[in-house]
Amino acid sequence: MGLKDYLYDIWEAVATTAKGMRITARYGVDPRETITLQYPEERWEPSERFRGFLYNDIKTCTSCTMCVRVCPVDCISLESVRGADKKMVLASYDIDIGRCMYCGLCVEVCPPKSLKHTSGYEKASVDRGELILHFIHEDAGEIKARVAKQVAEAAAKAEAEKAKAESEKPEAEMAKDGDPDSRAAQKDAPPPAGGNPEGGGAAEKKPGEEKE
């Protein structure tokens, strides 16, 4: 490196430092250039498409498990049982936001769109367990037991209704067909001459009578 290059490097260092200091000074004295955010009193407003913490509206969720199957890091878990009306009932729905990478795949696949990203992003904790969001606070075992009881009650009720219908069926048939004694007498009576036993139909033909 020659003397000329050496002096040029010194000049360039001084010039770029002065340029940077001029920008720093401008931000330091001009109140319109304030960029420091007084967090947490002040917060940036996230954009509309920001992918923050997930929220599941469990009243709309159908327990289809699509979100569980699509999640690349397995951070969603759910338990469900079939209810008395044949629909699935959620017993638990948890998302581990400590593992979630906010890819949004679960939101994309959710058929009823019950799963959504919120604008939330602040959740500091020293306990990883606190980073698991529980969307159902009731104990899963209690929910399952309650649903099982409802299913059993519905099955018992259906069985009782079926038995009642079976017991009422002969009476209904008797009422429809009339007095059983007259039906028996009708059944025992000889068929009319030349006619079929039911009467009113064509007389039975013998093989030799076909062409006459």
Measured from the CB atom, the residue of 102 and 151 that comes closer to ligand SF4 is: 102
- Nearest-approach distance from CB 39 to ligand SF4, in angstroms: 25
Alpha helices (H) along 30-89: 66-70
- Nearest-approach distance from CB 4 to ligand SF4, in angstroms: 58
Report d(CA 106, CA 113) in Å as an integer.
10
Measured from the CB atom, the residue of 17 and 65 that comes closer to ligand SF4 is: 65
Residues facing 133 on adjacent strands: 95
Q: How far is CA 76 from CA 120, 126, 137, 205, in A?
A: 18, 21, 16, 79
The burial class, CB within 10 Å (0-12 / 13-18 / 19+), for 15 is: exposed
Q: Which residues bind ligand SF4 (CB under 6 A)?
A: 54, 56, 61-67, 70-73, 75-76, 78, 95, 100-106, 109-112, 114-115
Whether cis (ω within 30° of 0) applies to the bond prior to 192 is no
Instruction: Concatenate the DSSP letters of all residues of 136-151 into one string.
Output: --S-HHHHHHHHHHHH
Measured from the CB atom, the residue of 109 and 140 that comes closer to ligand SF4 is: 109
Residues facing 92 on adjacent strands: 79
Measured from the CB atom, the residue of 100 and 147 that comes closer to ligand SF4 is: 100
Measured from the CB atom, the residue of 116 and 146 that comes closer to ligand SF4 is: 116
- Nearest-approach distance from CB 123 to ligand SF4, in angstroms: 14
Measured from the CB atom, the residue of 50 and 102 that comes closer to ligand SF4 is: 102
The SS3 call for residue 187 is helix
- Nearest-approach distance from CB 124 to ligand SF4, in angstroms: 19
CA angle 108, 113, 115 (to 5 degrees): 80
- Nearest-approach distance from CB 75 to ligand SF4, in angstroms: 5
- Nearest-approach distance from CB 54 to ligand SF4, in angstroms: 6
Question: How do 132-134 and 76-82 pair as beta strands?
Answer: unpaired
